[in-house]
Amino acid sequence: MNKSIKGFSKLSKEGKIEWLVTEHFENPNEAREVIETYWHADKKRQKIHDDFIENTITNFYLPLGVAPNFMINGDVISMPMAIEESSVVAAASKAAQFWLHRGGFKAEVISTKKIGHVHFMYEGNAPKLRKFIEANKKQFLEDTRSITANMRARGGGIVDFALVDKTLELDNYYQIEVGFETCDSMGANFINSCLEQFAKTLKNLVEGSEEFTSEEKDLQIVMCILSNYTPECIVRAEVSCPIDQLDEGTGISPAEFVSKFKRAVQIAEVEPYRATTHNKGIMNGIDAVVIATGNDFRAVEASCHTYASRSGKYSSLTHCEVENDIFKFWIEIPLSLGVVGGITSLHPVVKLSLEMLDHPTAEQLMKAVAVSGLAQNFAALRALVTTGIQKGHMKMHLLNILNQLEATKEEIEIVKNFFQDKVPHHSDVVQKFCELRGIKSPSEIVKKK
């Protein structure tokens, strides 16, 4: 099998689709139909999507859901959530409603510094280089003045920088670590442009100085890039209430619920297998809002998981404490988000999500995203330590199973009613559906067709 092609990127969209469907699909017309069905009817809008990435052939839809009733620091907002997994939006909504009547969520941005590095190799005297960089700080800042002008006008820019000696970890390896304030933008392009200028300045200054030997002047820049790990860009979200208010619908006493809930968090704190799933549940809430608001969920994921490992052992991103009969549950995470730049002003649904959130600043968005993660974790743990996760999750997933079986509206209603007080396990749903149709297995439908 050889499906390689040279010059694919140079073909027109139609040319790309033609090559793709004829080379990869048994039924090219069917494949073309799927591709074309998901184009936007409005050509101008489709063009916006085409231009986001390269070699676009069609659009990949994700549902946008809304979880209302999130009270954050006294304001009540509706959370836009883009996600494919059933029960996440329902869980977030249920948690939001639960805390709405118990004081809501408190959220606070603790720090907003982003970090980037010039990574380089230097075979020479480290203290001399450190002193030299310190003495030339003004020049580094001067050389980036034109790049930082707009950001400085908004109150941001380069916050600090210093030489970092990494030679204990890798021979001759050094960094200039630069701190940035990027205001309402995530700031990746700004940071990388500044870093590339820093590298040029470093090279020029060292090469032009009499202080360095020829070997030292042969300093090698390896790369200049922001770090997606942002441990100094931290947001905290919290809920708390007297234990006796944790009574609603859990089926067990508030004291037993709190004890089990706290145990579940402690297990995630000490056990990486559990922490991974626990944090995955948190990311259900975080990613959904990050995607809906046009932010980079890969960066957010990477940063959160590194943060979860900062002690040297992967651990829970949330924590729980009970003191003087007060239950407190919180999350502290690094979140580097933007509300300007990227696709925030291009993607029509991202614009809609940001308007739904009342045009937040980056700090307000950090708070909303952290709250969404905390709410999701609360809902999942609440279900896990009481009814079990399958009851609610499968209740929401039921529709997916029935859609897969191509059930009619009437059949869906009958099956939904039947499972109202039961856990709708996949095989039981299929069996009920078959009973309704008077068939032994869904494969009979295919045969009949």
- Residues of this chain that interact with ligand HMG (CB under 6 A) are 85, 87-91, 93-94, 97, 277-278, 280-281, 284, 379-380, 383-384, 389, 392-393, 395-396
| Closer residue to ligand HMG (CB): 343 or 396 | 396
> Which of these is catalytic: 18, 85, 181, 271?
85
- Our CB check for ligand HMG shows the closer of 337 and 380 to be 380
What's the CA angle centered on 238, arms 232 and 239, to 5 degrees? Answer: 175
Q: Is 280 a catalytic residue?
A: yes
Nearest distance in Å: CB 273, ligand HMG = 11
Q: State in angstroms the smallest separation of the CB of 250 from ligand HMG.
A: 10
| 8 Ramachandran zone, left/alpha/beta (phi>0; psi -120 to 50) | alpha
Is residue 85 among the annotated active site residues? yes
**Active-site residue, from 196, 216, 238, 296:** 296
Contacts of 209 (CB under 8 A, 6+ apart): 132
Nearer to ligand HMG, 90 or 439 (CB): 90
CA-based radius of gyration for the chain: 27
Catalytic residue among 49, 367, 393, 395: 393
**What span, in angstroms and rounded, lies between the C-alpha atoms of 287 and 360?**
17
327 φ, ψ to 5°?
A: -90, 130
Decide whether 78 or 361 has the Cβ nearer to ligand HMG: 78
Q: At what angle do helices 145-153 and 188-207 cross, to 10 degrees?
A: 140
* 325 is known as an active-site residue: no
In degrees, to the nearest 5, what angle opens at C-alpha 88 toward C-alphas 77 and 402? 130
Q: Which residues are 199's β-sheet partners?
A: none
Q: Which residues of 266-288 are buried (b: 16+ CB within 10 A; e: fewer)?
A: eebbebeebbeebbebbbbbbbb
Min CB(401)–ligand HMG separation in Å: 15
Nearer to ligand HMG, 69 or 230 (CB): 69
Q: How far apart are the C-alpha atoms of 71 and 81, rounded to whole Å?
A: 16
Comparing every residue's Cβ against ligand HMG, the nearest one is 392
User: Which position among 260, 280, 351, 416 bears the catalytic label?
Assistant: 280
The answer to whether the CB of 59 falls within 8 A of the CB of 373 is no
Rank residues 196 and 287 by Cβ distance to ligand HMG and give the closer one.
Answer: 287
Rounded least distance, CB 278 to ligand HMG, Å: 5
Active site (annotated) includes residue 393: yes
- Tally the residues of the chain: 449
CB 261, min distance to ligand HMG, A? 11
Supply the minimum distance, in Å, between the C-beta of residue 170 and ligand HMG. 37
Q: Which residues are catalytic?
A: 85, 280, 296, 393
